[in-house]
Structure 1
Amino acid sequence: MTRRGRFRGIEIDAEVDAFLGIQYAEPPFGARRFGAPVPVEHRGDCVRYGPVAPQSAELPGAPVWRPGDEAVLSFNVWARRDAEGAPVLFYLHGGAYAFGSSAQPDYDGAALARAGLVVVTCNYRLGFEGFGHVPGAPANRGLLDQRAALRRVRDTIAVFGGDPDAITVAGQSAGAASALFLAAAEPVRRVIAHSVPNRVCTEDFARRVAEWIDPTTPESAVTSADALARVQTGALGHDPVLFGPVADRLPPLDPRVDALFCHTSAEYRLFEAVGAFRPPDVDTLGRDWGVPAHVVAAYRERHPDEAAVRLAGDFVFAEPTTRLAEAHGRAHLARFTRSPGGHTADVPFCFGNLDGADFLIGGPPGDDERALSRRMLRAWVDFCATGDPGWRGVRWWGEPVEPLRAPWRGVDLDRPIDHAVTGTGARPPRRAP
């Protein structure tokens, strides 16, 4: 055991301590359900992860939510024992705004802490609980949770040896977009955003999705899995993401905030591999998603064997991420092209957590993979400390980027999701008056 002020955590090794499951807000259940987060002072030891937020997914190596698990709004800290005034990485997990947690093995912060950062990961409300439309309740409750967590971290991080004025907000996928929303709402020094999705929702879409959910039943983030099962046709049939921030568009990043963006070369290979994306004919995908015909034709010609997979990945993640970097004006931008180059393949390298990540990175890690991980982890550490990832003499793998981007010039990617919510014909659950 180890202690920092009133927080008692665990010794990871001779250098690093961890403080897990620190509550930052009251359990969002009962009278507080669907409300804004209510700050709370943590009491008790910090020796195990807090419960994950209600969700239907069960992820490898991560805990699952069970009825009765209520203290879901918590954060975790990893720090060197000698840390003092160290830069802070505040990391938000991804998961389509519907699943995931800070307890996933991918996000263990020990290696980054050993390299000089104070690392924080946090849980926030997901799915309908965090983003569903509830009349009279605040919208985007998951984003409000993230703001509450960051404020508590800012107030307490000096106890763990972190500098409250040197916080880098970071995330991947839904966590990356969340980082942008957080940076637009709270003062931060730097932002790291990997694979930012262009997925925000109109208020009308959120209302229509809510018709499939019965909010009078407990933990509707779990029961909303039934709604997902009904969405099998049209645009949502290819990408059944029903929840996300209700907004007009992703917020641009203040050019005064240091920025590091990254995306992978074939994002949707992951979703194909896990069965979440069953590639249709690329013409069908383009028509359902409103992608111009000339863009579809370019992918059919350039990637005949996986046109739909490559188009989907660039449409949802790669091109939006690149445009955000360009709009910022001085952002650092990386393209992770190491095979298989799927969504999330870059994350284990940045955290230094390659062991157990064979599925994401394409096989067991060897010397080359560990060397690449050391470089990528160091880039994050240097960026958090100075605003410069220190990229010098970077080796290039894969195709030139400009020909890949050329078909997207002039195509509007900022439109929020406003698809028709159609299903199999089953009636939505009865909602109490």
Structure 2
Amino acid sequence: MTVCSTRQGEVRGRTPADGVTRFLGIPYAAPPFGPRRFCAPLPPAPWTGVRDATAHGPTAPHAPYAPPFDVLFPDHEVPGEDCLNLNVWTPAPEPGAGLPVMVWLHGGAFSHGSGSASAYDGTAFARDGVVCVTLNYRLGVDGFLRLPGRPDNRGLLDQVAALRWVRDNIAAFGGDPDRVTLFGESAGAMSIGALLTTGAARGLFHRAILQSGACHHFLRPPSAARVAARLAERWGIEATPEAFAAVPLAELLPAQVELRAELNADPVPARWGEAALNMMPFEPVLPGLALPGPECGVDLLIGSNREEYRLFLAPTGRLDALPESSLRSLTTAYGLDPDEALPVYRAARPTATPGELLDAVATDWFYRIPAVRLAESVPGSHLYEFAWRSPGYGGTLGACHALELPFVFDRLHDPSYAPMLGDRPPQALADAVHGAWVSFAKTGSPGWPAYDRTTRTTRTFTVGPEAATADDPRARERLLWAGVR
């Protein structure tokens, strides 16, 4: 057992045979319930003696994924109110080691997931000389629903509180508080996109890796108010903090899943605002798109997966069943003229079905173009694309959303990843991806040239001859989005 000191008290971690010390379930903020419900996070209460930190703490309340996604993303839930906690993996749990720090923000559409899932075990990062931190933050109604008299973006405020904990305490665990890399995927990356222009987060992280998310996913206040009103309407209550607090969690959590299903079934902008295209009722509430610009002061590594949207098409059967009429109407909804855009996408995919073409268009709208816009806005950024194709669902998953995660964490044999990865995922690719993330955290360079508007250098992660850097891949498709996205 190993003991480290925090500002709240001492914690006891565990060091198994691999030599990596784990401290699990350390509170970084007070439990956000009772009179603290829907409020900004407050510091945790101090304790006396040595607090045991050898088991994961409670997870933020959330519902499991609905079928068929529950198979691809197994739920991890630990009940309890003390859910604003974090985990630390370190190879050198003593002050003065000065190791780089990586802080992980999990994805899950701002409604699902936790930072303590085995999929996000930080052992490989600690093995390679990095102190790794994962955390839980409030989700869904508690984290992101717009409520009168309460602060917006409570989930983001939790993330800032966790980063402040890292600043104040991580040196005791061997980390350097002046070398913090914040990294996240999907909703976690979108959170980072918002934090890049959040004054309260300035100076708390120095590098950032945004996987499949950037700055373009948010709800303007009127749209967020529509979502709150619709959720309240389902129960016949007022859209107030007091009314929502009176709804038992056993009813509130399933209702969040049902609300998203309703949104997906009838995405009318008049009812949902930006959520009609974003397809997420819970997102950061912001006045408009904000890109950080050259004064950002944070080194950035940004990227997406080549066939992100297949995750939402292949398991549901829509990939093969989508009619041409839906492809055209959705292309129009994303802001493109289908008569102009679809021939460009078809030229590179002459045998593609309408569903496969929708994947290409939607992947660009959701993920690739926002990554490009962020890279364009911050000089010196590095851009990547993950292109290895999953064998899942008969190979139709392709290089889908979230597929890069087991390679980033070098956890190809974690059972939770098996439905996506199949039997023989390439370890050499995990070595390359994980190694690039570690290199970026240590040096600010992942190992290839920075992106600029002239060369647009992009690193492709896959196996085979395409695993290299290229200048401005799929330029004709990128140019379609000028002035649109």
* Fold-level similarity (TM above 0.5): yes
TM-score interval, normalised by the smaller of the two chains: 0.7 to 0.9
| Residue identity in the other structure for 1:402 | R
Partner of 1:168: 181
Residue in 2 that maps onto 1:234: 267
Deviation string, structure 1 residues 83-104 (Cα, Å, up to 9, x no partner): 7100000110111111111022
Distance 1:146 1:379, change over 3 A: same
Gaps of 5+ in 1: 414-433
SS at match of 1:309: helix
3-state SS of 1:89 partner: strand
Specify the SS of the correspondent of 1:352: coil
For 2:336 and 2:142, the matched residues in 1 are separated by 31
Of 29, 36, 43, the residue aligned with 2:40 is 36
2:239 match: none
Q: 1:195 aligns with which of 191, 194, 212?
A: 212
1:56 and 2:63 matched: yes
1:278-293 aligned within 5 A: 279=322, 281-293=326-338
- Alpha-carbon distance in structure 1 between the residues aligned to 2:473 and 2:30: 47
- Are the equivalent residues in 1 in contact too, given 2:29–2:85 (CA < 8 A)? yes
Deviations 1:120-169 (A, max 9, x none): 01111111111111111100111001000100111110111000111011
Structure with larger RCO (C-alpha < 8 A, sep 6+)? 1
Match of 2:247 in 1: 217
| Alignment pair present for 1:346 and 2:404 | yes
Q: Structure 1 stretch 21-30 or stretch 193-202: which is displaced more?
A: 193-202
User: What is the CA-CA distance between 1:295 and the residue it aligns to?
Assistant: 2.5
- Choose from 98, 121, 124 the match for 2:111: 98
Number of equivalent positions: 408
Q: Which amino acid aligns with 1:218?
A: P
Aligned to 2:307: 266
Q: Displacement of 1:373 after TM fit? A: 0.8
Supply the distance in 1 between the matched residues of 2:29 and 2:337 (Cα, whole angstroms).
Answer: 45
Q: Distance in 2 between matches of 1:373 and 1:146?
A: 27
- Would you say 1:249 and 2:282 are equivalent positions? no
Alignment of 1:3-402 (within 5 A): 3-5=3-5, 6-41=10-45, 43=47, 44-58=51-65, 60-64=73-77, 66=79, 69-81=80-92, 84-184=97-197, 185-187=201-203, 188-196=205-213, 198-214=216-232, 215=244, 216-219=246-249, 220-231=252-263, 232-234=265-267, 240-247=279-286, 248-252=288-292, 254-275=295-316, 279=322, 281-293=326-338, 294-303=340-349, 304-305=352-353, 306-339=356-389, 340-355=398-413, 356=415, 357-361=417-421, 363-366=422-425, 369-391=426-448, 396-397=466-467, 401-402=473-474
Quick one: which amino acid aligns to residue 3 of structure 1? V
Deviation at 1:42, TM superposition (A): 6.0
- Report deviation, 1:50: 1.7
The structural deviation recorded for 1:62 is: 4.1
Contact 2:98 2:174 in 1 (8 A): yes
Name the CA shift for 1:274/1:21 in 2 (closer, same or farther; >3 Å).
farther
Instruction: In structure 2, give the amino acid aligned to 1:228.
Output: R
Which has the higher mean CA deviation after the structures are superposed, 214-223 or 241-250? Answer: 214-223
Aligned 8 A contact 2:137 2:158 in 1: yes
Show structure 1 runs of 4+ deviating over 6 A.
none
Among all aligned residue pairs of Structure 1 and Structure 2, give the percentage whose two residues are the same amino acid.
36
Query: Is 2:103–2:181's contact at 8 Å kept on the other side of the alignment?
Result: yes
Is the alpha carbon distance of 1:255 and 1:145 closer, same or farther for their aligned partners in structure 2, counting shifts above 3 Å?
closer
> 1:237 and 1:131, CA in 2 relative to 1: closer, same or farther beyond 3 A?
closer
* AA at the equivalent of 2:280: V
The AA in structure 1 aligned to 2:183 is A
Distance 1:238 1:180, change over 3 A: closer
Shift of 1:237: 7.0
Question: Distance in 2 between the 1:110 and 1:186 partners?
Answer: 28
Letter of the structure 2 residue corresponding to residue 403 of structure 1? A
State the superposition RMSD in angstroms.
2.5
